[in-house]
Amino acid sequence: MPSVQISPERAFEEVRDFGVKLQRGLKVLGELGEIDVGATPKDAVYQEDKLVLYHFRPLAKTVNPIPVLIVYALVNRPYMVDLQEDRSIVRSLLQGGLDVYLIDWGYPDAADRYLTLDDYVNGYLDRCVDVLCQRHGIPAINLLGICQGGTFSLCYAALHPAKVQNLITTVTPVDFHAGTNLLSLWVRHLDVDLLIDTLGNVPGELLNWTYLGLKPFRLTGQKYLDLVNVLDDPVQARNFVRMEKWVFDSPDQAGEAFRQFIKDFYQRNGLIKGEVRIGPQRVDLRRVTMPVLNIFAADDHLVPPAASRALEQYVGTGDYQAIEFPGGHIGIYVSSKSQKLIPPAICRWLAERV
Amino acid sequence: MVEAREAPSWGEEWIEANRRYWEAWAGVMGQTQEPSSNSAAPEWAESMQRWLRLMAPPMPPTSRELFNRLAEQGKLFQQFGEQLSATLSQFSGPADGGLAAFWKLPLDTWSRTVSSASVFPGDFLESHKPDVWNQLADGFQRDLERFLSVPGLGYTREAQEEGRELIRLALEYQRALQDYAGTFRTIGPETLARLQQRLGERKEPVTTLRALYDLWVDASEEVYFELVATEEHAQAYGRMVNALMALKNHGRNMVDEIVGALGMPTRRGLSTLQRRQQELQREIVALRRELGEVRSLRGEVAELQRELQALRSQPIREPPSPSPRSKTIRKKSKEA
């Protein structure tokens, strides 16, 4: 039996149908207008340079007295956690009775080129934590770190353990050489000093290009053909465009912070070796003694599960839990499956540790 | 008064051209002849381009970008169908071969993405195959390197040397880029072999273009991953980026020299200012924090002074005799 049985007539019909769908879809696309992001009302409660600290307005009775501060990565934009009403991890956390804050790092420009990890972790992040502590009259808060923001949260928790009551890390790289980590492999032979000395800040476009390079055939081709099948539905088209907007909304990276992150974390794998220094202090993960909930994605192509799973070996806490989500790096926040699994698990876990 | 003629609904023109294209093609197909890129095709393509241009402006940037991507993928998929059907018409057998042009399409898309990040256009690579480059290296490049090794002379010696260094770095980058591009050379044939393997493993035949396309993407991603997850590729990538950065860095330094000589602000000077500004900002933050602590201490001191003043204003009294309870406590604490 031949492995391909496509008659010319069938092929013709399929391509013709595709053309019709594409044409209809493009018409829908042309009528979508501006795409809004961020579904939940929020207020800026603190600003410094380009950073804005947001407080989400409660959607239910707040049952947990300890607020949660979401620390997003420097790459891409934090509105991914509140992309749209039915794809909002923030909304689900609020409905679960949590008081939620979010750090928006902003878009660094040339004036921010010399921002270091010390400025981000011991500076901006620490001052945001202080704001929450003052607002709520408490000595410590709950931290929820996302991806690189999870790594920052880990560093912060190790450097300021008294200010973190509970730590949640999601798709967070810890062992940067574990698993098949393409990003880690690709930067292994880069002269990062030369890169930063030449570029100053690292363009967001360069990061986009790198991420596309992880799965070029799916991300530059197949994804768009899949879209054609649903594009005649304005709701689905709008959802897709919104996601697309987020995917390519990549801020430039402050040069010095990027330099240190790539050299110390990716190239030297210093976090698990206790060799990373942020400001004057060494980051010792054994000082992470508060309860830790580590959530990672089984099909993560950016942060392999092994890179996150390693956390258990290095933290000093006796209260460690892990959740492996059956999905990918982004799906863990925006898929309908994640909305049912992740926020309730976080709310439950925090409620047991008030 | 003559009413303004209603503008044709957008897309109408394209739909009509599309219809004519497909009808023409279907006619050819009906005669089981090779469907060429017939006379309707350019018209269709041109019409689509016009239509795209027509409707692109009013769209928000995100939609426009997506629109372009979709249109591009649509064209590729239609080419896929056209080529597959052509092959099927010719051979009436399995389409395991003869689609080399299509097999390159996903890779072409990726090449364009890659080349957009390069200082040279993607086609620049196409015209310089590694073997050709090696031949060049034997002749022209050797001469060029000999020329570059001649020491600079006279008043402009430094400028001559910088110019030569720029050429040397450009050559080095070109070589590194060729090596990097060379690592992808086998991806096409290997993907085709992988696709054939996957097709052979299937119990059911593939009956739709889309299923075949998906299999092709799976095979491509597998082969691509195996390639880019190697140390060899990582080294080639590192060499390419490092060579590019060295070239850009040198070029920027040369520009700095020129604009500095013209009395204009240089990148180096700006960088110094940025660093100092950041250092000053850190100091300001630290000072503010200390100032806050000092203010807090001042408040505490003022409070203590008030308490002291209050205590001083009270008459001195005899200390009360210790109660039996406090004795017990003291005793307990001693025991402890």
pLDDT per position as a tens digit, A216-270: 888 888 888 888 888 888 888 889 889 989 999 999 999 999 999 999 999 999 9
Q: Which of B116, B207, B228 sits opposite A6 (nearest CB)?
A: B207
Helices within chain B (DSSP H only): 12-30, 40-55, 61-91, 100-103, 105-116, 122-126, 130-136, 142-148, 157-182, 187-201, 209-228, 231-261, 267-313, 324-335
Partner B contacted by A8 (CB < 8 A): yes
Q: Which of B73, B209, B249 sits opposite A198 (nearest CB)?
A: B249
Partner B contacted by A230 (CB < 8 A): no
Look at residue B82 in the predicted model and tell me its pLDDT: 63
Whole-structure pTM value: 0.78
Interface test with A, best of B85, B102, B216, B228 (most A CBs within 10 A): B85
Between chains, do B217 and A217 touch, taking CB under 8 Å as contact?
yes
Look at residue A353 in the predicted model and tell me its pLDDT: 96
Report the C-alpha gap between A262 and A271 in whole angstroms. 12
Which one-letter amino acid corresponds to residue B94? P
- Check if A147 is active-site: yes
Q: Which of A14, A200, A215 sits opposite B210 (nearest CB)?
A: A14
Q: Which of B11, B63, B69 sits opposite A32 (nearest CB)?
A: B63
Between chains, do B22 and A19 touch, taking CB under 8 Å as contact?
yes
Q: Give the single-character DSSP code of A34.
A: S
State the average pLDDT for chain A: 93
Chain A, window 147-186: residues with a beta carbon less than 8 angstroms from a chain B beta carbon? 180, 182, 185-186
Size of interface A-B (CB pairs under 8 A): 228
In the predicted structure, residue B332 carries a pLDDT above the cut 60: no
Buried b (16+ CB within 10 A) or exposed e, A36-54: ebbbbebeeebeeebbbbb
pLDDT of A134-193, one tens digit each?
999 999 999 999 999 999 999 999 999 999 999 999 999 999 999 989 999 999 999 999
Between chains, do B106 and A7 touch, taking CB under 8 Å as contact?
no
pLDDT of B66-121, one tens digit each?
666 666 666 666 666 666 555 545 444 444 444 444 444 444 554 554 444 444 43
Between chains, do B228 and A18 touch, taking CB under 8 Å as contact?
no
Determine the longest span between alpha carbons in chain B, in angstroms.
123
Interface test with A, best of B10, B19, B28, B66 (most A CBs within 10 A): B66
Between chains, do A11 and B85 touch, taking CB under 8 Å as contact?
yes
pLDDT band at B146 (very low <50, low <70, confident <90, very high): low
Contact indicator for A295, A311 with CB cutoff of 8 Å: no
pLDDT of B225-279, one tens digit each?
999 999 999 999 999 999 999 999 999 999 999 999 999 999 999 999 999 999 9
CA distance A111 to chain B (A): 6
CA distance A77 to chain B (A): 15
Joined together, the tokens standing for residue B295 give: 């203010």
Look at residue A9 in the predicted model and tell me its pLDDT: 78
Q: Which residue of B has its CA nearest to A31?
A: B59
Return the CA Rg of chain A. 21
pLDDT of B174-208, one tens digit each?
999 989 988 888 888 888 889 888 888 888 888 88
CA B206 to chain centre: 34
Query: Taking the C-alpha atoms of B142, B147, B151 and B153 in order, what is their torsion angle to the nearest 10 degrees?
Result: 180
Active-site residue, from A128, A133, A147, A347: A147
Partner B contacted by A198 (CB < 8 A): yes
Query: pLDDT above 90 covers what percent of chain B?
Result: 30
Between chains, do B270 and A110 touch, taking CB under 8 Å as contact?
yes
Place of tokens 């010390």: A118
